[in-house]
A and B are shown apart, each in its own frame.
Chain A
């Protein structure tokens, strides 16, 4: 590679507050179009913005997680432009005084070394309405109009697709675990615009910037950037200048595709929003927002690893906040974290994947799963526990104990005398099987072991039975 890539990211995160950024309209997703709308969202004359307190609290929490300086005076500004998705003809945002500035996020670079990505600003604003364009008409859905957003703008310190992906992943973990957002890229609750330019190594000046818009998965960020860097690199090597333009990522082809060539930047005629006077936040309010922030990803992970989970297992459980909260509820009854984690990752995930459902729809209460894993700690075999679990999934109202009894599963005992007496009994009852075995039919011993297990009602260890049986049959 002859060039260094300079990458900056703008991430828009939809906040899952109860109501919208500036109106009392409910803020929920996937309701039927134009049902979550107030007169403010449609910019009826005389309506006025009222700042959503929870949105401010969320923004403070995210800003704090990103080590930012938090402005204790909240100010909003108008960004003016005409567009069909913008009901008021302006967007209320925080241009002049973002709620947070000068922070950073630590990520692992391509060589898995720690790297600090500096963050310029985080600010609050409102979303536009959703447009659906058809051949000769367009539809507008105002449900999204006014949804609270935080925008997080990085400094151009990211150097490749992997770093970009990990940066977004880190941001997503913060917004998800602070309960600020669902952080779902595929549903648009976390949206990512990437700016990338190349320059020869050692050169200070930036090259011409290309923007890639609306990339909808972490993987695609990496792919889009790798492709785009290669594309620009090839152009520069062949002496073709890079154009300032906006592109999008095409998932099917793995390429970025030109959307529009940028002309002079639009003048948004920013000015302070006169209908929101500056709001002074007390130190107490800001501190309280920070102190009451739910535990974040990194802290949970450290806790999980300290309790015996592997790094990978911790990541798997934390990859879904609902899985993590299920895990923590189950921990209340489970004796051993590691055992519980194994059940979640293998059995529970297997069950969910097979049915394509989320942990939220898993039929078993977390406390019961915890109790179930305790059986294994108490000496039941893994197989026995899985049998009980499977039964419980069919009969989730039963207690673990009831399920165990219903399945007639007993703890195995280490009792060689018992094994010996049962083996002797079985051999006495089945002379034909002994004969078959002697005659070279190896399968006959399996039948005999099965007979013993049946007599023992699964209470003895099959390995012990097999060992004793092999010894005894030879004596006959």
Chain B
């Protein structure tokens, strides 16, 4: 087994023992990135990565991230490195500054080996709408199945063993859904826990920096590295950063777990439910108390519409800066209106324009109350209900998706109950800004599935401990296509 296929902690151990070097790891990661067949990369950062890795000669024993290669979603601002957000409107754009998280990882001496593909401007959940086309799920070499999105390239890269972790962003479930389809841990902490400075905004009230790892312990290590107050992001929290890794305590004894009845009831895939139920039994055996709780069918069904209205409204405003005047491709025009018109007409795909129209429509004076404000009121109601459940429970626990990664062709009726409820519920975590984590649960028909745990704001430490307990039960630590193993719940 190649060292690169291991978890961050295992790689760190090897680095400390002198079994490998950052340069060796980086070279291997770059080789795999170049051989990638899943369309995971916008840009491979070869030159700079090699330079940085070569400079790392003295191992930092206390810094588990020293010399670790990683992949960065292409909607993070990276100084001097192309950052397109997989949109033609930003072709050739080389930012003048690093996102705070990129800077923090650099300070830890992580090596960014490349920028990964996404759904254009992070708007989408399929991993098919970026300007480089579809991103494939590495677990299906026939390239028939989706990776899921929008953080498709980051998910595919980690699942394919190119790097042990990757940065993503999560506005609806853009990390936690592809994590489920790729057998990965995908973590989105509380809104404000990690600075968003330098993350290209989709819908700031819902946007989160999130990431993929191959183990819960790694997720704790990354959280510690990325969290904290940032003077560039006034929404970042002033709360103290905890010692998430050191404080991990994987005990389920006496933990009250809420399973949302409406969600599990809407799932028709028996194999998925079999694995999920097996996980519940295993948790019970460890002393967890499982409560089936009804969230409210109507509220759950309204998540998707609420999400679309709010996110599109914010997006249409955020992306108004992409006008071809200050950066990105410039298109000629006789007037400034023509310059903007041409840049935006040629720069955005049809899908993006559709979202802008929806957002703009929802914000129009005559529509605001029945669309935008109504969505906000509904969001508040949903948040209230979520927090109500969490008041009496240590976590909400549900399947992350009703099925394995969908096929590109013949996807089902988009507005079925199953789709509306079981495919969109993770936006709850974005509405309320709560810590929400997807962990691998097992395999169905050879494809990974995952489950999601969510708890109260800024209780990252607790959700990580519960996740570690679940990971210990499933035995699915360190998954990648090179390290396939059966789960204990199958």
Chain A positions within 8 Å of B, measured between CB atoms, are 39, 42-51, 78, 80, 82-84, 87-90, 138, 140, 267, 269, 271, 274-277
A46–B327 touching, CB < 8 Å: no
Say yes or no: A46 contacts B204, CB within 8 Å.
no
Query: Given known contacts A39-B96, A89-B317, is B234 in contact with A45 (CB within 8 Å)?
Result: no
Q: Is the CB of B372 within 8 A of A89?
A: no
Given contacts A46-B99, A47-B197, A90-B320, 13 further A-B contacts (CB under 8 A): A45-B201, A46-B76, A46-B95, A46-B199, A83-B336, A87-B321, A88-B320, A89-B321, A267-B365, A271-B317, A271-B363, A271-B368, A275-B204
Contacts of A49 in B (CB 8 A): 234
**A49, B90: Cα distance in complex, Å:** 22
Any chain A CB within 8 A of the CB of B460? no
Rounded to whole angstroms, the CA-CA distance of A269 and B318 in the bound complex is 13
Interface set, chain B 280-303, CB cutoff 8 A to A: none
- B192-220 at interface with A (beta carbon < 8 Å): 196-201, 203-205
Contact between B234 and A277 (Cβ–Cβ < 8 Å)? yes
Q: Is the CB of B85 within 8 A of A274?
A: no
Task: Verify A48–B77 contact, CB threshold 8 A.
Answer: no
Q: Does B340 contact A (CB under 8 A)?
A: yes
Q: Are B198 and A46 in contact (CB under 8 A)?
A: yes
Is B97 a contact of A39 with CB atoms below 8 Å?
A: yes
**What are 26 A-B pairs at a CB distance below 8 A?**
A42-B327, A44-B326, A45-B77, A45-B83, A45-B85, A46-B95, A46-B196, A46-B197, A46-B200, A47-B198, A48-B197, A50-B231, A80-B316, A82-B320, A88-B320, A89-B320, A90-B317, A269-B368, A271-B313, A271-B317, A271-B363, A274-B205, A274-B314, A275-B201, A275-B235, A276-B235
Interface membership of B243, Cβ < 8 A: no
Which of A45, A51, A84 lies in contact with B321, CB distance below 8 A? Answer: A45
The closest CB in chain B to the CB of A79 belongs to B317
Q: Which residue of A lies closest to B93 (CB)?
A: A45
Q: How long is the Cα–Cα vector from A173 to B262 in the complex, in angstroms?
A: 64
B325 at the interface (CB under 8 A from A): yes
> What is the interface of chain B, defined by CB distance below 8 A to chain A?
75-77, 83, 85, 90, 93, 95-97, 99, 196-201, 203-205, 231-235, 313-314, 316-317, 319-323, 325-327, 336-337, 340, 360, 363-365, 368, 372
Q: How far is the CA of A277 from the CA of B76 in the complex (A)?
A: 22
Count A-B contacts at CB 8 Å: 105
Q: Do A84 and B336 contact each other (CB < 8 Å), given the known contacts A45-B200, A46-B76?
A: yes
Chain B residues with Cβ below 8 Å from A78 are: 317
CB contact between B234 and one of A51, A83, A84, A271 (< 8 Å): that residue:
A51
Q: Which residues of A contact B337 (CB under 8 A)?
A: 82
Q: How many Å from the CB of B18 to the closest CB on chain A?
A: 38
Shortest distance between the CB of B170 and any CB in chain A (Å): 16
Do the beta carbons of A46 and B235 come within 8 Å of each other?
no
The reply to whether B197 and A87 form a contact with Cβ atoms under 8 Å apart is: no
Shortest CB distance B80–A (Å):
13
Contact A80 B201 (CB under 8 A): no
- Give Cα distance in the complex from A194 to B361, angstroms: 32
Main secondary structure of the interface of A (DSSP, over half): loop
**Are the CB atoms of B365 and A50 closer together than 8 Å?**
no
* Cα distance A46–B101 in the bound complex, in angstroms: 12
Residues of A with C-beta under 8 A to B363: 80, 269, 271
B77 lies within 8 A of A80 (CB): no
| Cβ–Cβ contact B77 & A44, under 8 A | yes
Q: How far is the CB of B394 from chain A (nearest CB, A)?
A: 27
- Bound-state Cα–Cα, A267 to B320, Å: 15
Asked if B77 contacts A46 (CB within 8 A), the reply is yes
A83 and B339 CA atoms in complex are apart in Å by 11
Q: Contacts of B77 on A, CB cut-off 8 Å?
A: 44-46
Nearest CB in chain B: distance from A75 CB, A: 13
- Which residue of the partner chain A has the closest CB to B325? A84
Q: Which 9 residue pairs of A and B lie closest in terms of their CB atoms, listed nearest first?
A: A89-B320, A84-B336, A43-B321, A269-B363, A274-B205, A274-B204, A46-B198, A45-B200, A46-B77
- CB-CB under 8 A from A87, the residues of chain B are 321, 326
A48 x B196 contact (CB < 8 A): yes
With a CB–CB cut-off of 8 A, which chain A residues contact B232?
47-48, 50
- In the complex, A140→B327 CA distance in Å? 14
Provide the bound-state CA to CA distance between A46 and B198, in Å: 4
A82 to B320, CA, bound (A): 7
Q: Is the CB of B325 within 8 A of A88?
A: no
Q: How far is the CA of A84 from the CA of B323 in the complex (A)?
A: 9
Question: Which B residues lie within 8 Å of A275 (CB)?
Answer: 201, 204, 233-235
CB pair B234–A82 under 8 Å, yes or no, is no
Q: Tell me, in angstroms, the Cα distance from A48 to B95 when the chains sit together.
A: 15
Nearest-CB distance from A163 to chain B (Å)? 33
Q: Smallest CB–CB gap between B199 and chain A, Å?
A: 5
Residue of B nearest to A45 (CB): B200
Q: Given A82-B340, A269-B364, A275-B204: A44 and B234 within 8 A (CB)?
A: no
Q: A271-B317, A274-B314 are in contact. Are A48 and B233 (CB under 8 A)?
A: yes
Choose one: A43, A45, A269, A274; the contact of B360 (CB below 8 Å).
A269
List residues of chain B with CB within 8 A of the CB of A89: 317, 319-321, 323
The complex places the Cα of A82 from the Cα of B344 at a distance, in Å, of 12
Chain B residues, Cβ within 8 Å of A84: 325, 336, 340
Which chain A residue lies CB-closest to B234? A50
- A286 CA / B8 CA spacing, docked (Å): 49
Select which of A82, A83, A277 is within 8 A of B235 by beta carbon. Answer: A277
**Is B336's CB under 8 angstroms from A138's CB?**
yes
CA gap between A452 and B328 in the complex, in Å: 87
Residues of B within 8 A of A274 (CB): 203-205, 314
B235's closest neighbor in chain A, by CB?
A277
Residues of A within 8 A of B322 (CB): 45
Residue of A nearest to B230 (CB): A48
Roughly how many angstroms separate A140 CA and B203 CA in the complex, as a whole number?
A: 28
| Cβ distance A130 to chain B, nearest Cβ, rounded Å | 14
B96 CB, nearest partner CB in chain A, Å: 6
- A44 contacts B323, C-beta separation under 8 Å: no
Smallest Cβ-Cβ distance to A43: which chain B residue: B321
CA distance A49 to B236 in the complex (A): 12
Q: Is the CB of B364 within 8 A of A267?
A: yes
Q: B76 — which chain A residues lie within 8 A by C-beta?
A: 46
Kindly provide the distance from the CB of A33 to the nearest chain B CB, expressed in whole angstroms: 15
Q: Is the CB of B201 within 8 A of A82?
A: no
Residues of chain B with a CB closer than 8 A to A47's CB: 97, 197-198, 232
Give the residue among A39, A87, A269 with the most B Cβ atoms within 10 A: A269
| Complex CA–CA separation, A275 to B233 (angstroms) | 8
Chain B contacts of A277 at CB under 8 A?
A: 234-235
A46 in contact with B201 given A90-B320, A271-B363 (CB within 8 Å): yes
Which residue of chain B is the closest to A22 with respect to CB atoms?
B234
Report A-chain residues with C-beta under 8 Å of the C-beta of B365. Answer: 267, 269
Q: Tell me the smallest distance from the CB of B240 to a CB of chain A, in Å.
A: 19
Complex alpha-carbon distance, A88 and B322, angstroms: 8
Give A267's nearest chain B residue, CB to CB: B365
